[in-house]
A and B are shown apart, each in its own frame.
Chain A
Amino acid sequence: MDYKGRVWKFGDNIDTDVIFPSQYMLLPTIEEMKVHTFEPLVANFHEKVRPGDMILGGENFGGGSSREQAPSVLKAVGITCIIAKSFARIFYRNAINIGLLAIVCNCYDEVHEGDVLSVDLAWQIIEVEGSELRFGFKSFPPHVTQMVAAGGLIEYINGSGR
């Protein structure tokens, strides 16, 4: 499967409180929560983002709490893929579990905000539109690949016949 989208670039250690602040976590639904995505950093991010956009982060993207609201609101505002130098463990797992692609790739320094990337999952390649730049990334562990293919953990459980 291929993904194509415009890049929002962030720094290192983008923590879960910045992605989604505590005070909105008890709002009833993800739809009501999503308007507060990245609120401490980018005002009205949910209005500025376009479906299919991607996020590029530095080291330790998603550090901090285990709140699945963080990847869930990103998915809800239309983000399809997060590429980072490294991810915090729980965030990574949460993202994959809900079918939001989280890719570890060393393209950070050469990709800029607004660039359009194409992600080719099968061949593990990221290309920057309008340039010759190409970056590879490691495949997912086999266990994770099954889940990514199913579209997330629940879909995987539903499809497993258990």
Chain B
Amino acid sequence: MAMTLSEKVLARAAGKDEVTPGEIVQTEIDWIMTNDATTHVSIDIFEQKLLKQEIKHPERVIWVVDHNIPAESVETANVHRKQRIFAGKHGFNSHVGEGICHQLLVEKYVLPGQVVIGADSHTCSHGALGAFATGVGSTDLVGAIREGSLWFMVPATLKFHLTGKLREGVTTKDLILTIIGDISANGANYRAMEFSGPAVSTLSFESRLALCNLVVEAGGKNAIMEADEKVVGYLRRNRPQGATGVVLQGDQGAAYEKFFHYDLSQIAPVVACPHAVDNVSPIIAVEGREIDQVFVGSCSNGRIEDLRILGRILKGNRVHSRVRLAVSPASTRVFLQALEEGLISTFLEAGAMVLNPNCSTCWGGCQAVVGDGERLLSTGTRNFKGRSGSALAEVFLGSVYSAGAAALAGKIVNPINYLGL
């Protein structure tokens, strides 16, 4: 029977010839990621409730400290220490302060065709590599590290057929926000979101990661895209042995629950307005609103491509006096690349705060948050009430173009007009 790409990855991992939506499969897990926001919860479950305290494949477990780093309180420091001791005792791969977990997994671990879980909802990002990747909670994580496998219900797939080309000043952030606005915050609940079509080849690998990153904001279980030459090329350049994984394709005639067609040339800058990611509006509808802080970073838009765009916007300019601009590169590698290209200097000259690589404003638990009554334009992932600091703040999500333009203008503007693109 013809299978979608998500089905093929799951079938392969479960050792089955075929799987169908709704079927429960137990599959081996290639990578299990846990970060400092929840690892302590898993440790308590593991140590207090599990009878047989074993870890099947510690070499497949990746522990990342990226949410509250540098530690901002004694409680956090002590929790980090507890996690560090656990990770050390069991021999996990450990990354402290090297960047955001999802970016590190792209730089170092995940390959096409693999099954990946992470105790973080934005684990869906890795779909851009042609992997099946999804977020789980702390108990599932304990089950997975204990057993080396986990059960999944095979999701039905929503297919997003992409044609055309994004115009300058519009990014995949605008595209995915538009899609989320169209299908709503639970429009893809339990579903795989597959992105395909002739437009895919026009999108850089990094911009695909940004696209896949936000599918959970529509409730999606996973995102998935075929790994093409751009993905394989990235892996060849960045992985020590040049491993490129198992590149799978969806079958002709596979059954999709629903088809959507997006012509990328028709996508315009949009923002997600407070306090829901699906509260999407054309940016021109909210133009003129004053902004107190702008954030560029996160697993959504903190990669080198994003920093290059910001660098072009800020070069030779000063950030508006009303605005705090916080920039957090997604990883050490991204930071070093940006350093080499002179981008960090450009940001500092323009008056930005350059934060160490971490989740930062997007997460709101550690640094660069907003206060009561303030308005934030963020390239991050969520704008829920209280997400980036005060519950009385307003958070708008937008592309790095929209963020850069707002940082200069001190208010929300249409980046295409403002930047003369």
Contact = CB atoms under 8 A, between A and B. Distances in A.
A5 interface: no
Which size bracket describes the interface of B in this complex? 35 or more
A153 B76 CA distance: 28
B421 to A, nearest CB: 33
Contact of B139 (A27, A30, A65, A68): A68
Interface in A48-83: 59-60, 63-69, 71-72
Of B50, B140, B190, B217, most buried by chain A (CB within 10 Å of CB) is B140
A54 to B, nearest CB: 21
A140 to B, nearest CB: 12
Interface residues of A, number: 47
Interface stretch (B33-41, B92-100, B315-323, B398-406): B33-41
Contacts of B364: 21-23
Given A18-B385, A67-B37, A86-B186, A94 B137 contact: yes
A40 interface: yes
Contacts of B358: none
Contacts of B384: 15-18, 64
A66 B139 contact: no
Interface string A19-48: 001111111111000000001110000000
Contact of B365 (A23, A64, A162): A23
A143 B151 contact: yes
A26 B186 contact: no
Of B41, B217, B382, most buried by chain A (CB within 10 Å of CB) is B41
Interface in B177-233: 185-186, 189-190, 216-217, 219, 221
A9 interface: no
B79 interface: yes
Interface stretch (B4-12, B142-150, B159-167, B338-346): B142-150
Interface in A100-128: none
B89 interface: no
Interface in B59-90: 67-68, 73, 75-76, 78-79, 82
B246 interface: no
A89 B75 contact: no
Given A64-B382, A69-B41, A89-B221, A26 B189 contact: no
Nearest to B78: A28
Contacts of A65: 120-121, 135, 382
A66 B120 contact: yes
A128 B143 CA distance: 37
B153 A141 contact: yes
Nearest to B135: A66
Contacts of B153: 141
Interface of A: 13, 15-18, 21-30, 39-41, 59-60, 63-69, 71-72, 86-90, 93-94, 97-98, 141, 143, 152-155, 157-158, 162
Interface of B: 24, 36-38, 40-41, 44-45, 49-52, 67-68, 73, 75-76, 78-79, 82, 118-121, 123, 135-140, 142-143, 146-147, 151, 153, 185-186, 189-190, 216-217, 219, 221, 276, 363-365, 382, 384-387, 391
A-B interface, 7 closest residue pairs, ranked by CB to CB distance from nearest:
A94-B137, A68-B137, A60-B186, A66-B135, A97-B139, A68-B138, A17-B384
18 contacts: A13-B186, A17-B384, A18-B386, A21-B364, A26-B75, A30-B41, A30-B44, A39-B386, A40-B386, A64-B121, A64-B382, A64-B384, A69-B138, A93-B137, A93-B140, A154-B142, A155-B49, A162-B147
